[in-house]
Homo-oligomer: A and B are copies of this chain.
């Protein structure tokens, strides 16, 4: 684990202390502290560094994007959604705590992300905090993560999923949150508007690539290596890049 990932893990550990009501905080910590590569927070920290900002100004955003990412995994894994049993090498949240608690753990994490941004950014100018909150919120909502998931669900088992639709799904399920992480890092780090727009452009270019790599891993690695039920996207007739382009072309695309 990198130095930065360790910093992020410490911040996340501190973000959700174990307190009453115990069950909800246990469930939140279970998924939030289950490992993960912490790609989004690390990109957020890097973006802050790029514009010459201080880590202390941006750690709340780094934590918030990982908290939102975790929330989306918990809800996506629910039986009424993708119905996954395994995530990061462990049983999914609802398998351990029940569907009701898993729904609530996601809700609590989502509001925690915004609370964190509002309360743990002392020293940052409030207009920058408001902008970061706006970036994060639009990445999650009905034109962000949720849009990607609803189109993804509606395309399962259908034959008419083309590359355009697949790109729509991945832009919304993956790229938008990456963009918020990177843009939020630059905003809280004190970047000027030119710098912020430059990192936004950069984030857009890496966002899609990230998902192609992830889709390829899903086909080529075993469940044990990845810690989640692999090959499942193919089994459940979900649209993936390898399925649509063929594995070899997808690997080339990911280049």
Given contacts A114-B137, A118-B133, A142 and B25 within 8 Å (CB-CB): yes
Contact A75 B103 (CB under 8 A): yes
What separation, in Å, do the CA atoms of A133 and B137 have in the docked complex? Answer: 12
9-residue interface stretch from A3-11, A143-151, A219-227, A230-238: A143-151
Partner of A104, one of B108, B126, B149: B149
Task: Please indicate the chain B residues that have their CB under 8 angstroms from the CB of A141 in the complex.
Answer: 108, 111-112, 115
How far apart are the CA atoms of A103 and B110 in the complex, in Å?
Answer: 13
Q: A129-B126, A129-B130 are in contact. Are A24 and B147 (CB under 8 A)?
A: yes
Q: Is the pair A114, B133 in contact by a Cβ cutoff of 8 Å?
A: yes
Q: Contacting A80 at CB < 8 Å: which of B16, B99, B131?
A: B99
Copies held by the complex: 2
* Contacts of A103-139 to chain B: CB distance below 8 A: 103-104, 106-108, 110-112, 114-115, 117-119, 121, 125-127, 129-131, 133-134, 136-138
Q: Using CB atoms, name the residue of chain B closest to A107.
A: B146
* Chain B, Cβ-Cβ closest to A135: B118
**A80 CA to B101 CA, complexed, in Å:** 9
Residues on the B chain within 8 Å of A23, using CB = 150, 154
Give the A interface residue count (CB, 8 A).
55
Whole-angstrom distance between the Cβ of A70 and the nearest chain B Cβ: 13
Inter-chain CA distance A112–B114, complex, in Å, is 11
Interface string of A2-44 (1 = CB under 8 A from B): 0000000000000010010101110010000000000000000
- What residues on B are CB-neighbors of A106 within 8 Å? 107
Q: Chain B residues with Cβ under 8 A from A81's Cβ?
A: 100, 103
- Within 8 Å of chain B (Cβ to Cβ): is A98? yes
Residues of the B chain whose Cβ atoms lie less than 8 Å from the Cβ of A72: 107
Q: Which of B75, B104, B111, B144 contacts A150 (CB 8 A)?
A: B104
User: Measured between C-beta atoms, what is the minimum distance from A14 to chain B in Å?
Assistant: 15
Q: List 8 A-B pairs, minimum CB-CB distance, nearest first.
A: A115-B137, A80-B99, A126-B126, A118-B134, A111-B140, A108-B142, A126-B127, A108-B146
Can you list 16 A-B pairs with a CB-CB distance of less than 8 A? A21-B150, A71-B107, A72-B107, A75-B107, A80-B103, A101-B150, A108-B141, A108-B142, A108-B146, A110-B110, A115-B133, A118-B134, A118-B137, A121-B130, A126-B129, A126-B130
